[in-house]
Structure 1
Amino acid sequence: MDNDGYDYDYDCNDTMECICEINTGTEVTVQVYVHSCICVLGLLGNLMVIVTYAFYKRAKSMTDVYLLNVAIADVLFVISLPLIIYNETYNWTMGRWACKILRGMYSINLYSGMMLLACISSDRYIAIVQARRSYRIRSRTLIYSRIICSGIWLFAIAVSIPTIIYNETYDNIDLISNQTMSICYLKFEENETAQRMKILVPSIQVAIGFFLPLLIMGFCYSSIIYTLISAKNFQKHKAVRVVMAVVVVFIACHLPYNVTLLYHTLSLFHERECEVEKTVNKALMITETLAYFHCCLNPVLYAFVGVKFRNHFRKILSDLWCLGKKYIYRRSSRSTEVYISTRKSMDGSNNENGSSFTF
């Protein structure tokens, strides 16, 4: 989901000119349009989840609380994404603190979103695999889930502190246009700090933001699948397909980027040919877009696949349709009243026995 994170190129200079060339032209244009679509879809889907929990469905279980927090994290992510994309494409004009806040929010939502997905898998594991023992644990669901969610958000903030500290705005020369641009990027005062952080930050991102949730989800969902298959029930087998879809989509969206980022990090301080560097950076650009797309699929996979949630979704659409009809009716009624009063005044001025029009 994030990219604090997702941009680990060296600064543009004479020795690394080949890297900078891939960040301009057609690739950037396509990236902007694709990310814009992701923002729109992600915002609509996750806002639907938030609206459903706010007005139509109370969060009664741990999974409900986790889903609501995942939707909030994804909304914050898609809100910050277009601002970062725009300012990276053109010029950073929002100042130093905006740079730190946006980059930090980006990173916080990555870690919180991933860990919350792991929590959802853990809750389903307890409810299905440990069903007999889960009553005591799940009897105080809202208390436990709120404590866990608060801990996850605090942990995400703590892990994102290096991102907030070291992202700064500074001027850089664009080798293509030969113009000075203000950018928001990682900046270090000492080479030793730069080397440490350029390895530490992406390594933590890959380890905590992907592999740890993947291990938790892999264990929980494999146990769930085994339990459901043993149940020999049609509805249970239908649930197996949903679980498989969740796991496959998660891996398909995030594995390519994290493998590419891991390779890029391991070879960061080794000399590579310019064409190889271009290929790696293009791969990062493509795979990060695929990772972003997961925020659009979260509402579908975790919320709208449920029958009750789909019914709430239909209720939202029905209410929006009714509100739209009421608004149109009121506008048309006001227009009619204005038309009638105008005709009355006109007829009264031209005819002493002015008639009134009724419908």
Structure 2
Amino acid sequence: MVVLFPLGLVGNVLILLVNSDPRQRASNPDVYFTNLALADLVLVLDSLIEVFNLSAHYYDNALLCTCMALFLQVHMYSSVFFLTWMSLDRCVALTGLSPRAMHADGSAARRVCTAIWAAAIACTLLPFAAAHARHGWGRGFCFAGMAEVQWLEVTLGFAVPFCVMGVCYSLIGRVLLRSERPRRAKALRMIVTTVGVFFACWLPENVFISTHLLSGTAEPLRRRRNGTLWQQYPLLGHVVTLAACANSCLNPLVYGLLGQTFRRKLKLFLEHHVHCLHMQPPHVTHMRLHAR
């Protein structure tokens, strides 16, 4: 994480700055990518918390565990949902399954983003409310340790998105195989990288959770002391969580810096701001020197 954290922090901040530049027109993918960067930025910052929290054991504190889980699950779901939607949107666009007008309408992209954030919040708050309605608000209870919540996380947060992404990129690959060779080779490398990074980053945590669930030890924390796999194996739990957060560190590289469109916009953004610095009015420079 020593390398990935600054890469993810700088990369996601750059995406937010470049795509929020009013001088450049934002396409639908730019809108999705900006929202993905926002969700990823939170997960990148959480990776720093995980590094320094190895000895703090916040999982033992029910209130802190619940607050952290609520906050992180919203952004985890939103990040994965945006990745899934971007794959689906790219598939539909390249295979010609939707009218072109749909992709030209910026308001449609904003509505999709609103729906994705709402779905991420619902996938977090509904299980949270159901867990507390069933088990109460007793001290020592963290809803993140519930088997139902964890099954939902494995299913909606990994299995379903990975299947959707796999189908979408398989269809895209078939289209690209019939296209010209230069475009095909580059795009296929992008597909393999995208699916590979998502799978490699999220698989360890989901195997970790699934092992916990299949062993039948997922029970409310107030019923058993040291009941969660994270409490039994804290170091391994932190490692797999950091691996999942690494996906948010690598997304800017995979989706942004490797893409020609974003590289072009980034170049224009940097050139404009460097030009503005060189074109600073002389009286401003004189005032700053005088102030010193």
**TM-score between the two structures when normalised by the length of structure 2:** 0.77
Once the two structures are TM-superposed, the CA of residue 140 in structure 1 deviates from its matched residue by 5.1
Mapping of residues 163-312 of structure 1, within 5 Å: 189=138, 198-269=146-217, 281-312=234-265
Given candidates 124, 128, 131, the residue that maps to 1:160 is 124
Mapping of residues 322-333 of structure 1, within 5 Å: 322=275, 333=286
Once the two structures are TM-superposed, the CA of residue 259 in structure 1 deviates from its matched residue by 1.2
Structure-2 residue corresponding to 1:148: 112
- Over 3 Å counting, the alpha-carbon distance change for 1:82 and 1:139 in structure 2 is closer
Aligned 8 A contact 1:166 1:188 in 2: no
Structure-2 residue corresponding to 1:318: 271
Given candidates 26, 33, 43, the residue that maps to 1:77 is 43
- Over 3 Å counting, the alpha-carbon distance change for 1:117 and 1:100 in structure 2 is same
Residue by residue over 1:75-128, the C-alpha shift from the partner in whole angstroms, topping out at 9 and shown as x without a partner, is 233345545765674497xx9988765542211010011011111111111111
Given candidates 127, 134, 148, the residue that maps to 2:98 is 134
Once the two structures are TM-superposed, the CA of residue 300 in structure 1 deviates from its matched residue by 1.5
Q: Does 1:57 align with 2:5?
A: no
Give unpaired runs (5+ residues) of structure 2. Answer: 219-228
- Aligned equivalents of 1:109, 1:240: Cα separation in 2: 29
The one-letter code of the counterpart of 1:57 is Q
- Aligned equivalents of 1:102, 1:166: Cα separation in 2: 18
Structure-1 residue corresponding to 2:223: none
Residue by residue over 1:203-234, the C-alpha shift from the partner in whole angstroms, topping out at 9 and shown as x without a partner, is 11111011111011000001111110122432
Aligned 8 A contact 1:47 1:75 in 2: yes
Aligned 8 A contact 2:50 2:242 in 1: no
**TM-score between the two structures when normalised by the length of structure 1:** 0.64
Alignment RMSD (CA, Å): 4.0
Once the two structures are TM-superposed, the CA of residue 318 in structure 1 deviates from its matched residue by 3.2
- Aligned equivalents of 1:251, 1:144: Cα separation in 2: 29
Q: Percent identity?
A: 25
Larger radius of gyration: 1
- Aligned equivalents of 1:59, 1:206: Cα separation in 2: 33
Aligned 8 A contact 2:44 2:246 in 1: no
Aligned 8 A contact 1:69 1:149 in 2: yes
Structure with bigger helix share is 2
The one-letter code of the counterpart of 1:105 is F
RCO (CA 8 Å, sep 6+): is it higher in 1 or 2?
Answer: 2
- Over 3 Å counting, the alpha-carbon distance change for 1:334 and 1:261 in structure 2 is same
SS of match in other structure, 2:27: coil
Given candidates 121, 125, 140, the residue that maps to 2:91 is 125
Aligned 8 A contact 1:103 1:164 in 2: no
- Aligned equivalents of 2:25, 2:214: Cα separation in 1: 46
- Over 3 Å counting, the alpha-carbon distance change for 1:219 and 1:91 in structure 2 is closer
- Over 3 Å counting, the alpha-carbon distance change for 1:338 and 1:255 in structure 2 is closer
Aligned 8 A contact 2:202 2:244 in 1: yes
Aligned 8 A contact 1:253 1:290 in 2: yes
Structure with bigger strand share is 1
- Aligned equivalents of 1:113, 1:196: Cα separation in 2: 18
- Over 3 Å counting, the alpha-carbon distance change for 1:229 and 1:333 in structure 2 is same
Given candidates 98, 105, 108, the residue that maps to 2:74 is 108
Aligned 8 A contact 1:66 1:120 in 2: yes
- Aligned equivalents of 1:166, 1:40: Cα separation in 2: 38
- Aligned equivalents of 2:142, 2:75: Cα separation in 1: 24
- Over 3 Å counting, the alpha-carbon distance change for 1:338 and 1:304 in structure 2 is closer
Aligned 8 A contact 1:76 1:105 in 2: no
